[in-house]
Amino acid sequence: MTQSKKYDYQITQDNAGWTTKIIRQVTSKKTVVSKRQDGFSSELEAQEWGKEEMKGFLNNLNERNKRRSKPQE
C-alpha cells in the first residue's frame, strides 16, 4: 500500500501564468486547497514559492498543534 502526504503543493499553468496550490488530502478521494498563489511567470518561480510556503505552513501547523495539546490550567 502506498503512503501519500497529507499536505503537498500542486503547480498548474493557465493563460495568465503559473499557479501554486497548497493542498490537504481530506480522504482518499477528496482534497482541499489550503492556500494558493497565482501570477508566477515561470514554473521554477512557482515551484520555489511552493517549497518555501510548505515549510512555513507546516511549521505554523506544528506550532499550533503544540499550543493546542498543552493542558489547560
Map out the domains of the chain as residue ranges. Answer: 7-69
- What would the pLDDT profile of 41-57 be if each residue is shown by its tens digit? 999 999 999 999 999 98
- All cell numbers assigned to 19: 499557479
Nearest to 46 by CA among 73, 11, 4: 11
What is the reported pLDDT for 70?
85
Low-confidence stretches of the chain (pLDDT < 70) are 1-4
Q: What is the pTM of this model?
A: 0.76
Separation of alpha carbons 64 and 46, rounded Å? 26
Q: How many CB atoms lie within 10 A of CB 18?
A: 21
DSSP string, 35-50: EEEEEESSHHHHHHHH
